[in-house]
C-alpha cells in the first residue's frame, strides 16, 4: 500500500538521496505582497524509491520540485543532497551537482527538434563533458533499446508520437547514470494507453537501473502504483494516513 508521508525511506544505513528540513519558500520577500508558498517542508527520498507527489493545483508542487531540482533557491531551511547541504553552493557548483545527480522528465518533453532521438538522449553528456565518445553512444543506444526505440535512433522528434517522444525524454534523463529522476506530470500530455506505457517504463527503469523517481502526477491510478504517496496541501505535507484531495476518489 502506498504511504502518505516521508516515513520508511529505506535502510537506515543509507544516506537519503534528498532530505529537506523545514524548507520554506517566499515570493516577493521584503515587499508588501510577500507570499509564502511552502511552509516548513520536511521530506526524504531514499535511494531506489519510487514516489508520487500529489496535491491540488496551487499547492506548491512545482515550486517544491524546482527547489529539489536546484532550479530555484529556498528562502529558509536546509536541503541535503546525498548528505551534503546545497544552500551555500555557488551557481557553478549547483550546475555540476544538478548535472551529476538529477535527471528531469517534464509533461512537455522538451526535445530539441533539430537533433535525432539518439542525439537528444546524449545531450546531457555533451553539455556535461563537452564531447561524446563511443561509450556514450553505446549507452545511448542501449537506453533507446530499453525504451523500445532502437529503430528510431536517427529519427527527429517530429517523426515520433507523443508517447515515443516521452520515452526518449526518459532515456535522456537516465543517460548520465543519475541516481534520481524528477518527473513533473510526465504522462499529463498523453492518452491513457501511452500514459500507462510510459509509467510502466519508468517503473522498469527504477527496478533495472536502481534509479529513484519522484513523480508529480494528478492521475490517481498511477499514484497508487508507486511505493509511497506524498500529498502537498496548501504548501504543507499532509500527515500520514490522511489523503485529503480528489486523488483518493
Query: Is 249 inside a domain boundary?
Result: no
Q: Say which CATH number the domain at 50 has.
A: 3.40.50.300
Q: How is 43-111 classified by DSSP, letter by letter?
A: EEE-TT-EEEEE--TTSSHHHHHHHHTTSS--SEEEEEETTEE-TT--HHHHHHHHHHHEEEEESS---
Residue 108 sits at the vertex; the CA angle it makes with 106 and 110, to the nearest 5 degrees, is 85
Any residues with CB less than 8 A from the CB of 93 and at least 6 apart, and which? Answer: none
Tell me which residues of the chain have a pLDDT lower than 70. Answer: 1-13, 107, 240-249
Q: Is residue 7 domain-resident?
A: no
pLDDT at 53: 94
Per the domain annotation, does 150 fall within a domain? yes
18-27: strand order across its sheet: 35-45, 18-27, 76-81, 84-85
Residue 8 lies in a domain: no
Domain range enclosing 87: 18-242
Judge whether 5 lies within some domain: no
* Total tally of structural domains belonging to the chain: 1
Task: Give the pLDDT score at 2.
Answer: 43
Q: What is the pLDDT of residue 1?
A: 40
137 within domain boundaries: yes
- Length, in residues, of the chain: 249
Alpha helices by DSSP H, listed for 150-191, are 162-174
Which strands, in side-by-side order, build the sheet including 180-184?
Answer: 102-106, 180-184, 212-216, 50-54, 228-233, 236-237
**161-170 burial: b if 16+ Cβ within 10 Å, else e:** ebbbbbbbbb
Q: Are strands 18-27 and 76-81 parallel, antiparallel or unpaired?
A: antiparallel
Q: Distance between CA 201 and CA 207 in Å, rounded?
A: 10
Amino acid at each position: 500500500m502506498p504511504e502518505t508521508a516521508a516515513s520508511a525511506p529505506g535502510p537506515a544505513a543509507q544516506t537519503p538521496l534528498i532530505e529537506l528540513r523545514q524548507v520554506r519558500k517566499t515570493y516577493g520577500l521584503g515587499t508588501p505582497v510577500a507570499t509564502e508558498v511552502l511552509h516548513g517542508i520536511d521530506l526524504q527520498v531514499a535511494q531506489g524509491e519510487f514516489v508520487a507527489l500529489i496535491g491540488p493545483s496551487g499547492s506548491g508542487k512545482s515550486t517544491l520540485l524546482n527547489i529539489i531540482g536546484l532550479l530555484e533557491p529556498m528562502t529558509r531551511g536546509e536541503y541535503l543532497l546525498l548528505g551534503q547541504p546545497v544552500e551555500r553552493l555557488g551557481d557553478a557548483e549547483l550546475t555540476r551537482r544538478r548535472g551529476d545527480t538529477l535527471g528531469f522528465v517534464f509533461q512537455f518533453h522538451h526535445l530539441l527538434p533539430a537533433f535525432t532521438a539518439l542525439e537528444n538522449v546524449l545531450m546531457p553528456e555533451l553539455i556535461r563533458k563537452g564531447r561524446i565518445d563511443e561509450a556514450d553512444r553505446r549507452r545511448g543506444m542501449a537506453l533507446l533499446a530499453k525504451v523500445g526505440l532502437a529503430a528510431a535512433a536517427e529519427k527527429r522528434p517530429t517523426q515520433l508520437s507523443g508517447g515515443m517522444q516521452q520515452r526518449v525524454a526518459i532515456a535522456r534523463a537516465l543517460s548520465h547514470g543519475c541516481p534520481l529522476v524528477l518527473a513533473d506530470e510526465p504522462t499529463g500530455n498523453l492518452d491513457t494507453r501511452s500514459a500507462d506505457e510510459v509509467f510502466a517504463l519508468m517503473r522498469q527503469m527504477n527496478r533495472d537501473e536502481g534509479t529513484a523517481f519522484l513523480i508529480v502526477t494528478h492521475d490517481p491510478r498511477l499514484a497508487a502504483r508507486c511505493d509511497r504517496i506524498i500529498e502537498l496541501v496548501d504548501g504543507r505535507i499532509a500527515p500520514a494516513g490522511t489523503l485529503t484531495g480528489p486523488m483518493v476518489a
